[in-house]
Chain A
Amino acid sequence: MMPRSGKRRQFKGRHKLTERWFEWIIERIIQASGLLTIVFIMLIFAFLLKNSLPLFKIYPLKAFLIGRDWYPISAPARFGLVPLLAGSLMVTLGSVIIAVPLGVAAAIYLAEVARPSIREAIKPVVEMLAAIPSVVLGFIGLLVLAPYIKNLLDLPTGLTAMTGSIMLAFMALPTIISISEDAVSSVPRDYREASLALGATRWQTISRIMIPVALSGITAAVMLGIGRVIGETMTVLMVTGNAALIPHSITQPVRTMTATIAAEMGETVQYSEHYYALFSIGAMLFVLTFAVNFTAEIVLHRFRGIRR
């Protein structure tokens, strides 16, 4: 940040008038671009609403929210969100069950147990995982994991909610690991040293001091991971089988909200009922992820505040 002295004004006379004008204009441009992110997020929401609200003039909102059938091209068409929401929630829950214990444990290992040389070797692996495009994870899920799961559990198809959950866990892991690790290693040194000095073992220090202190940071990490999983598109589109039915078990094919948009938008007529319905799903997704990320950021901000 620039030094902000109250006496800055009195030096202004030193600069030429044209220079001051130039300075003024630049400052306004920079200010405007600073506000752009707020404008963009509002624009995105506005466009989603603008393209989804017309649906509810012809199709009741209640039927959209609690409808149990998604038949977009039958006559009359039915746009029930429930099976898609259930699909998204089931896949997300599955990947959370896998990724959270694994990610948090890996983060604790990296922050507290690993020798520096091992930490430096493993961090790039996590970064590489984060860099793999989601379409490639979907590809691996489709060609390698799905046939394996089909044979292992003797299912009619390997493209199930479970396959999606496993692949999505890999998408969430880098987020969970890196933010949790930050949280654990940012716990002040004195806490650890005080605990060890009192004769606690290293594991007692980790489990009774480090984790409780870092807990809100870890919570935020988990939430950001969940936000990433709910919004993930290509992987689930390729590996979950895309059956728009309310799932009864994790070994059934499901279809998520994101996959529905990606699969059907290409075939709809612009500004048709179906087009508006897909934008309505998009608006729901936006609200859902916004709530998750917003809460996570507030929690993280508080955590950083306490730490100081």
Chain B
Amino acid sequence: MRPRGTGEWLAYGLLYLSIVLVTLPVAAIFFILVSRGYSAVNWEFLSSAPRMGMRAGGIFPAIMGTLLLVLGTIAIALPLGIMAAIYLSEYSSRGRLNRLIHLAIVNLAGVPSVVYGLFGLGAFVLFLKIGVSLLAGCLTLALMILPVIITASEEALQAVPQSFREASLALGATRWKTIWNVVLPSALPGILTGAILGVSRAAGETAPILFTAAAFFLPRLPRSIFDQVMALPYHLYIITTQVPNIPQKVQYGTALVLVALVLLINASAIVLRSYIRWRRSW
């Protein structure tokens, strides 16, 4: 149906304009990052440590640091998140407690990232005396991505048809055996999609690791989980605001690598999601 009258044309014009104003800057951001950053990115940049006060060399320790942080984070958050989701989807009744837990999840997701950083500092670094370390950073980030993982896992578990459960129970399996052998395997791809999205969030965050894990400059890999690490987002912050005279090429290169890493992680989640839709037989 076509718009009628000038007023309607104007209204539609504004709607079109809004979508242009949303998408154009996104395209511009990517264009700027790629066009100014790609010449800095080469094998040496990706595989060597920073030199000359971070003005030359590469960003290898920062990339590895981020990967280690993400790995530790998911190792902590995934089991906890899946168990909480199993409780919400399979064990709890739809009562007041369930509602309370959902409220807690929403609010946990809304806690500012810098407040997670404060909590990590107060609880893990100082109270539990872990110190500024890989472990403290992973614990803090795990807490932060927990809501993402619980929400995605719960959705995946609830998408498993009821008849699967009933068939397993009817064959004499116990409740847990039904969950372990039937429900979880069917929900696994969906759970993994959520986990990957959590990972991508953890990889890009700076504020939670600011006082719990990140090292200003550490041109080697951490020796243990109680060692500090460099991290890609924190490194970008450092070389753009804290250290003078860093060549713009290095700054744009670092930003490009960070964005590429995060988008790569996201893209794998999207691929996994469409694979599930394509394969799903129910």
Contacts and interface: CB of A to CB of B under 8 A. Distances in A.
Interface residues of B, number: 97
B121 A128 contact: no
B176 A22 contact: yes
Contacts of B102: 297
- Output the residue of B1, B109, B118, B175 with the most chain A CB within 10 A: B118
A131 interface: yes
Interface in A186-203: 196, 201-203
A61 interface: no
A35 interface: yes
A41 B25 CA distance: 36
Contacts of A234: 206-207, 233, 237
A27 B89 CA distance: 13
Contact of A139 (B93, B150, B255, B266): B255
A31 B87 CA distance: 6
A231 B112 contact: yes
A139 B91 CA distance: 46
B101 A38 contact: yes
Contacts of B117: 261-262, 265
Interface string A235-252: 001100000000000000
Interface in B154-186: 158, 162, 165-166, 169, 172, 174-176, 178
Interface in A95-120: 101-103, 105-106, 108-110, 113-114
Interface string A1-39: 111100000010011000100110011011101111110
B239 to A, nearest CB: 10
A77 interface: no
Contacts of A201: 1, 3-4, 8
Contacts of B91: 2, 27, 30-31, 34
- Output the residue of A27, A127, A135, A238 with the most chain B CB within 10 A: A135
Interface string B238-282: 001100000010010001001100110010001000000000000
A175 B164 CA distance: 35
A102 B146 CA distance: 30
Interface string B115-154: 1111101110011000000000000000100110010000
Interface of B: 1, 3-4, 7-8, 11-12, 14-19, 21-23, 25-27, 29-30, 32-33, 80, 83-84, 86-94, 100-119, 121-123, 126-127, 143, 146-147, 150, 158, 162, 165-166, 169, 172, 174-176, 178, 200, 203-207, 210-211, 233-234, 236-237, 240-241, 248, 251, 255, 258-259, 262-263, 266, 270
Closest 10 CB pairs of A and B: A231-B112, A34-B87, A133-B204, A105-B18, A293-B110, A33-B83, A233-B114, A37-B104, A233-B207, A109-B15
18 contacts: A1-B89, A30-B86, A41-B108, A44-B119, A51-B122, A103-B22, A108-B15, A113-B12, A125-B23, A125-B27, A126-B22, A133-B206, A136-B259, A138-B240, A202-B3, A279-B118, A297-B103, A297-B107
